[in-house]
Structure 1
Amino acid sequence: MVGREDMSALQARVAGCKVVVVGNSDALLRQRLGARIDAFDVVVRMNLGRVRDPLHQGQRCTVLFTSTDKLDARQIETAFAPEWVVWATPKREQMPDLTALGDRLLLHPVSIWDELSRACAPARPSTGLITLSFLYRHCRCADLAFAGFDFFASGTFYHRRLLGLLKPRRLSSTAHDGAREQAVVARMIAAGGLRNLAEER
């Protein structure tokens, strides 16, 4: 199988770093957080969330967490040029051809996913929650923040915007439970070690 479950190299990369996870909510494109995002040591993006407006999204990408079969290795390099790529879902049979990424491709451990899945049951954890949870619980970041998460309230920007036109809000998949995920993240924030950039403006 392409990729490896050993996440130690990525954990070493983010250790002691200021890390931001950039979500894909449509609301992000109105928040002017780009400069603050790019000021972090490590910028993590997800799925089809390529930069469309640096003013709001920043420009950099250090790590890409992905669960989509719509991005092959060439497309990832072109859109993100990340140091690391993490296949976030245990559905490895759905992984596109990422062979060209070589040792930069990591597989999010199924054992960690299983633990998070139990917290979200009967829904499945989204890529965003998988990413935040891994960095929060399994890494030693000096600072961990996020932007562009509203737990499906505004929809996903790449589903809503086409040729500059705003499409009707696409309802989130029934596979994910926004309210439950918001509660999980709220507990992380309350415990310390995670903050929401949108609430600090």
Structure 2
Amino acid sequence: MEADSTDNLSLVELQSFLSGKSVAIIGNASSIFNDRLGAEIDAHEVVIRINHGCIKNPVAQGSKTTIWAGSVALNEHEVQEYFAPIYAMWMTPRRRSLPNYSPDFRRKLFLHPVEFWEVLQKEVGALGDRQARPTTGAMVINLVVKHCKPSRVRLYGFDFFKTKTFYEKRLPKNKPHDFHAEEVWVEELCAAYSCLEIRKHGNRNLEPKTPMHTILSWVLRCMHRLIDTLFRRR
């Protein structure tokens, strides 16, 4: 069911929220577990997480989520349970895949403009496969950097599929994306926008192998949710 755009968070409202703020965009490459950058991530005013990229290891990924950006049909309970964001963004132009969210959830949900996707698809396509679709990560980067005037944007967990997505078992074989073209596009964007930086990750793997990290992640999400609730009541 497609939501009426008038019921959703507007572009102007999103721009007002992000303008002048430091933003961390968290990709889902397994290489994010090679460093202890969680505290650095959480120091940003806004932390954006993507698709199924919930927190497994706060030491590497941070514990804060301000915005969830998705092209996968997580239901409202899943978004709140795994991310507890202040806002959410539906990124894919496939509006028919949009879950039937409640009115309260839709008021904090931004629908990524189809025209932004079309321009991005042409930009990335010009660097490689013209039929390839932009990834959700590329859409988020494009939206924040080009349209929302943040003070700083840092990318974490983006290695353009040199390592697998941490919640998938293997590297994709037939994804409809051109990862090399997106890497070139991001490099060109970094050169054009001084606010944008991509953090490279080392070789040491910190991916958790015990349930304790899952418990810690849940506790930290609950703490952030409580703090956000108290802040909004003030």
The TM-score, its normalising length taken from structure 1, stands at: 0.90
Whether contact under 8 Å (1:67, 1:87) holds in the other structure is yes
What's the Cα RMSD here?
Answer: 1.6
SS of corresponding position for 2:172: coil
CA distance in 2, matches of 1:170, 1:152: 7
Contact 1:3 1:103 in 2 (8 A): no
Match of 2:162 in 1: 153
* Aligned mates of 2:163, 2:191 — CA distance in 1: 24
**Post-superposition offset of 1:199:** 6.6
Tell me which amino acid in the other structure corresponds to 2:171: R
1:136 corresponds to: 145
Q: Give the CA deviation at 1:96.
A: 2.1
Find the partner of 1:63 among 63, 67, 75: 67
Q: Deviations over 1:103-148 (max 9, x none)?
A: 0011000011110111232100000000001111101101111100
Percent identity between the two aligned chains: 32
Q: Is the 8 A contact 1:3 1:106 kept in 2?
A: no
Question: Where does structure 1 differ by over 4 angstroms across 4 or more consecutive aligned residues?
Answer: none
Equivalent pair of 1:3/1:102 in contact (CA under 8 Å)? no
Contact 1:129 1:181 in 2 (8 A): yes
Stretch of structure 1 that moved more, 90-99 or 10-19: 90-99
CA shift, 1:33, in A, is 1.0
Name the aligned partner's letter for residue 109 of structure 1. Answer: P
> Match for residue 193 of structure 1?
195
1:152 CA displacement: 1.1
Deviation at 1:16, TM superposition (A): 0.8
Unaligned runs of 5+ residues in structure 2 are: 203-234
Distance 1:83 1:53 in 2: 21
Q: Which residue of 1 aligns with 2:172?
A: 171
String of CA shifts for 1:56-90, please: whole Å, max 9, x gaps: 00011101110002x10111011101111110011
Larger CA Rg, structure 1 vs 2: 2
CA shift in 2, pair 1:40/1:3, >3 Å: farther
Higher alpha-carbon deviation: 107-116 or 118-127: 118-127
User: Which of 18, 27, 34 matches 1:14?
Assistant: 18
Partner residue of 1:83? Answer: 86
Corresponding residue pairs, total: 191
Tell me if the contact between 1:20 and 1:40 (Cα under 8 Å) persists in the aligned partners. Answer: yes
Q: CA 1:13/1:187 → structure 2, altered by over 3 Å: closer, same or farther?
A: same
| Distance of 1:170 and 1:27 partners within structure 2 | 13
TM-score normalised per structure 2? 0.78
The Cα of 1:3 is off from its aligned counterpart by: 5.6
* Alignment gaps of 5+ in structure 1: 161-168
Deviation at 1:197, TM superposition (A): 2.4
